[in-house]
Chain A
Amino acid sequence: MIDDLYHEELLEVVRHPSYYGTLENADLILHETNASCGDELTIYIQFEDSKNPLSPIKVLQWTGTGCIISQASMSYLAEFMQGKTLKDLEKINQSQLEHWLGIEEIAIGRVKCLLLGITALHKA
């Protein structure tokens, strides 16, 4: 079962996360931490229309440190969010994240890690 969780694909994602890096001239910067374990994420967003946060996302990049679940989850989320709007976030739930990560059902103790990226984006 642990091999399900920490399978090679997941470890690879964390070694080479998608859209990782800061963004100069970001229209919006979000910061989120998981107090219980020290995961943290910073998300940088540039919108098509800089003045309209409801307009499609031109670029989303992110940086962070933390456990595999939170970092991998954010990486998949970053891939999804390119060109989407913040409203499209509603399509993403715990199930979807579990699916991307290739996990059948995450342990209760790791749910916060899984949802860290979504939690940050919801605050936008």
Chain B
Amino acid sequence: MFNAQEVKRDFPILNRTVHEKPLVYLDNAATSQKPNVVIDAISDYYREHNANVHRGVHVLGDESTRLFHHSRQSVADFFGAQKEELLIVRNTTEAINQVAYTWGENNIVEGDVILATELEHHSDLVPWQMLAQKKNAKVEYIPVTETGMLNLEWLQNYDFKQNPVKLLAFSHVSNTLGTLAPVTEIVELIRKHSPRTKILIDGAQAAPHLPITFDDMNVDFYVMSAHKMMGPMGIGGLLIKREVLQTLPPFLYGGGMIAEVSLETTTFIDDLEERFTAGTPDVASLVGWAAACKYLQHLGMQNVYHHDHELVAYALEKLSQVEAVKIIGPTDPKDRVGSVTFSYQGVHAHDVGQVLDSEGIAVRSGHHCTMPLHTKLGLAASIRVSFNVYNTTEDIDALVTALNKVKKVFGQ
């Protein structure tokens, strides 16, 4: 196990004060903070190695290209995938949209069903709604229970013969409730009862906390963002099984992905990696992301998971002792990863968030880009605290103390 207090020292922003109080950053599901090694990797790239990739015969071009490929390999390795299976995109949202625009466009026809869940972030919901509208297909949703779990029974009773499901899209970990999806059971069920269904998993909230081995997962698409796992903003990954990738048309057209271009016609490069990389890639961000992967590997992803698990359990325990607090979502720590969400009786989420901010505590209040989920649970908004490797139980103690201030200010 690592020492979170020591880890904290690697993150310069955590030395900040807010309203003259030490910053307690509990909004990691929104974005994570970055360690010095990631910040340095990005600036060093621009200081020493910056040049475009694949396009020069000079030393800088060479160094940049090597760094690009090396970083790409590191990230693919981190996710237990082959290098050719990793497409570099801007973020999870773009990754899902890309699947909708390429695979979806070419495979979804009238009458098809796309299965999502009531837990989904808007980025894993809206693209499917739009695709279904365009194609006269249907989106259906695996319901969520009152305790925030996916209703597996519903899925077990689903008539796949009557309603052919072309795609199942669901979150590995819910960004709002932290619900850990039973991935193995779901995948087994689908492979058994609906073998032609493609499976996409939104791993944005899983990647920071759980060890992931794409090649062992038997799913077709897995998506994630670097900035949630201590990498920079502006870069993310779309993992696609090779057999599926080979059937896809390019998404973006232009430089780098072509074989030959004339005014009349163009052919595309055979190499899968290059075919799906149009234009100048964000090498610096990829280098930064690789540094974040290395940092996490150094801590050990099993340790990272256990650390998070401890914090989730501690938060559930301490928050349920605050009278006005109502926990939303799974109450058993084994079902919950990364975040604990709650409502505060009699005080609106935004007001709670504001008072917490006055004590230096950063949380997220609102609907967390999951409006359908909030509607289902009968909530206008909620407060979410979410963790990363530098958070400690002291952070949660500070949160609870600050909630007492809410009580003082609002008399509730």
Contact = CB atoms under 8 A, between A and B. Distances in A.
Contacts of B367: 35-38
B409 A67 contact: no
Given A38-B367, A38-B374, A38-B380, A11 B350 contact: no
A67 B355 CA distance: 12
A6 B409 contact: yes
A2 interface: yes
A78 interface: no
A67 B350 contact: yes
B186 interface: no
Given A35-B371, A36-B367, A37-B366, A1 B348 contact: no
Interface residues of B, number: 20
B351 interface: yes
Interface string B242-265: 000000000000000000000000
Nearest to A107: B354
Contacts of B357: 2
Contact of B349 (A11, A37, A69, A107): A37
A113 B380 contact: no
Contact of B358 (A1, A65, A113): A1
A41 B168 CA distance: 37
B358 A69 contact: no
B226 to A, nearest CB: 25
A107 B374 CA distance: 25
Of residues A35, A67, A68, which shows the largest number of chain B Cβ atoms within 10 Å of its Cβ? A67
Nearest to B406: A6
Dominant SS among interface residues on chain B: helix
A15 to B, nearest CB: 9
A53 interface: no
A14 B134 CA distance: 46
Contact of B354 (A2, A11, A66): A2
B409 A2 contact: yes
Contacts of A113: 350
A11 B381 contact: no
A67 B348 contact: yes
A107 B87 CA distance: 39
Dominant SS among interface residues on chain A: mixed
B365 interface: yes
Contact of A68 (B348, B381, B411): B348
B176 to A, nearest CB: 13
Contact of B355 (A6, A39, A66): A6
Contacts of A39: 348, 350, 380
Interface string A25-37: 0000000000111
Interface string B399-412: 00000000001110
A68 B351 contact: yes
B380 A2 contact: no
Contacts of A66: 348, 350, 380
Contacts of A2: 19, 354-355, 357-358, 409
A23 interface: no
Contacts of A35: 367, 371
**What are the 6 tightest A-B residue pairs by CB atom distance, in nearest-first order?**
A38-B380, A2-B358, A38-B381, A67-B348, A67-B350, A37-B366
23 contacts: A1-B19, A2-B355, A2-B357, A3-B409, A5-B354, A6-B351, A6-B354, A6-B409, A11-B409, A36-B366, A37-B349, A37-B350, A37-B366, A37-B381, A38-B348, A38-B380, A39-B350, A39-B380, A40-B380, A67-B349, A69-B351, A110-B350, A113-B350
Interface of B: 19, 348-351, 354-355, 357-358, 365-367, 371, 374, 379-381, 409-411
Interface of A: 1-3, 5-6, 11, 35-40, 65-69, 107, 110, 113
Given A2-B355, A65-B348, A67-B351, 10 more contacts: A1-B19, A2-B357, A6-B354, A37-B350, A38-B349, A40-B380, A65-B380, A67-B350, A69-B350, A110-B354
